[in-house]
Amino acid sequence: MQIDEIVKGVLSGSRRHLAKAITLIESRREEDFRKSLKLLDAIVPYSGNSIRIGITGTPGVGKSTFIESFGLYLIDKGYKVAVLAIDPSSQKTGGSILGDKTRMEELSRHEMAFIRPSASGKTLGGVARKTRESMIACEAAGYNAILVETVGVGQSEVAVADMVDVFTLLLLPNSGDELQGIKRGVMELSDIILVNKAEDDNLDKAKLAKSQIENALMMLSQRDDGWNVPVILTSGLKKFGFDDYFASLVEFFDLMRKNDFFQKKRQSQYLSWMWSMVDDYIKEKIHSDKHMKEIIDNCQEKIVLKEASPFSVAEILIDNLKNIFE
């Protein structure tokens, strides 16, 4: 299929063409990479008109159940919903987080939804880049609520927070214990916290967890954007707490638009995307160069054997870069 045809199809909202566009974005072939840049240039002007929501939480917290139900809730409200994922383990498994077809069955069948499993790639940076680009393609195809899911391990939360407008952390009702294990950094990234599975017998525990989390939040420093992180009780299974969550999202976007943080955040994200692409490109170039590989091995050995400092060795590597980029 020609690029023009894919662009036209995507802009007309065709899911088939959107899937093609994303396949092109995810391809590792050099030729496809060039094509995907052309494609992205053509569709970027039509992107951006969406709410980008990041969702994280440990495996088993109920993310996919929640996203399926809340996705359908958003569709009821008139949104077109796309679900993307960043899965650090996909580097090994080739994309597992949404790979299981039984997940989000109802949502995936809905004509107002588009679900794409995590891209695979050698590095988290690479996977994140493909997800960002897929997000742009989804927006150009008219999807105006983008949910980006990640498992709460490793650096993937940071990668997701760097591509969304609002970041949601799901916790379990027994959070008192769980909070000990939650990295402070993840709490700091979170704009909204949900205590999920908060139905029936879990309700009392969930209320207790909510106040514990609120206390923990008070220990964090004041945010520049003036937002107070709400803690909301939800149940993806019983479709409970969705109105509260949605109201918080609306309130968050209202505040961010009023205080200009929305635009500023997107602008700084776009700059950081550009630099991460440049960084990745440079690293890839360095590591795929045979001559450079010898120099790198040699330099690394010098550091390990303490024959040279990391600083002087970095200089040697930098001096050799001109051979690659000439």
Binding status of residue 236 toward ligand GDP by CB under 6 A:
yes
Cα(140)–Cα(275) distance, integer angstroms = 23
For 131, phi and psi rounded to 5 degrees?
A: -65, -40
Which is nearer to ligand GDP, 197 or 210 (by Cβ)? 197
Chosen residue from 14, 65, 91, 108 binding ligand GDP by CB under 6 A: 65
Binding status of residue 59 toward ligand GDP by CB under 6 A:
yes
DSSP 8-state secondary structure symbol assigned to residue 113 = E
State the minimum distance, in angstroms, from the CB of residue 203 to ligand GDP. 11
Chosen residue from 57, 117, 126, 173 binding ligand GDP by CB under 6 A: 57
Q: Is the dihedral of CA 7, 11, 12, 15 positive or negative?
A: positive
- Cβ-Cβ contacts under 8 Å for 54 (sequence gap 6 or more): 148, 149, 150, 157, 160, 161, 163, 164, 166, 167, 168
Q: Whose CA is closest to 148, among 52, 228, 215, 60?
A: 52
Region near ligand GDP per CB under 6 A, out of 11-19, 211-219, 232-240, 313-321:
232-240
Which is nearer to ligand GDP, 65 or 89 (by Cβ)? 65
Binding status of residue 108 toward ligand GDP by CB under 6 A:
no
Region near ligand GDP per CB under 6 A, out of 119-127, 193-201, 215-223, 272-280:
193-201
Number of Cβ atoms within 10 Å of the Cβ of 104: 22
Cα(236)–Cα(213) distance, integer angstroms = 20
Binding status of residue 96 toward ligand GDP by CB under 6 A:
no
How many angstroms separate the first and last alpha carbons of the chain?
A: 35
Which is nearer to ligand GDP, 60 or 181 (by Cβ)? 60
State the minimum distance, in angstroms, from the CB of residue 288 to ligand GDP. 36
Give, as ranges, the residues between 266 and 285 that touch ligand GDP (CB under 6 A): none
State the minimum distance, in angstroms, from the CB of residue 68 to ligand GDP. 8
State the minimum distance, in angstroms, from the CB of residue 48 to ligand GDP. 28
Binding status of residue 241 toward ligand GDP by CB under 6 A:
no
Q: Whose CA is closest to 81, among 52, 42, 43, 48?
A: 52
Interstrand relation of 51-57 and 166-171 (parallel, antiparallel or unpaired): parallel
State the minimum distance, in angstroms, from the CB of residue 89 to ligand GDP. 12
Q: CA dihedral defined by 265, 266, 268, 271, rounded to 10 degrees?
A: 170
Chosen residue from 196, 213, 249, 262 binding ligand GDP by CB under 6 A: 196
By beta-carbon distance, which residue lies closest to ligand GDP? 62
Binding status of residue 197 toward ligand GDP by CB under 6 A:
yes
Binding status of residue 91 toward ligand GDP by CB under 6 A:
no
Burial of 82 (0-12, 13-18, 19+ CB in 10 A): buried
Chosen residue from 153, 158, 237, 292 binding ligand GDP by CB under 6 A: 237
Q: Whose CA is closest to 197, among 55, 54, 61?
A: 61
Cα(17)–Cα(216) distance, integer angstroms = 46
| Assigned token pair, 44 | 């970027």
Cα(157)–Cα(186) distance, integer angstroms = 7
Region near ligand GDP per CB under 6 A, out of 52-60, 140-148, 156-164, 262-270:
52-60
Region near ligand GDP per CB under 6 A, out of 53-61, 111-119, 213-221, 312-320:
53-61
Which is nearer to ligand GDP, 14 or 89 (by Cβ)? 89
Chosen residue from 45, 60, 78, 181 binding ligand GDP by CB under 6 A: 60
Residues that bind ligand GDP (CB under 6 A): 57, 59-65, 196-197, 199, 235-237
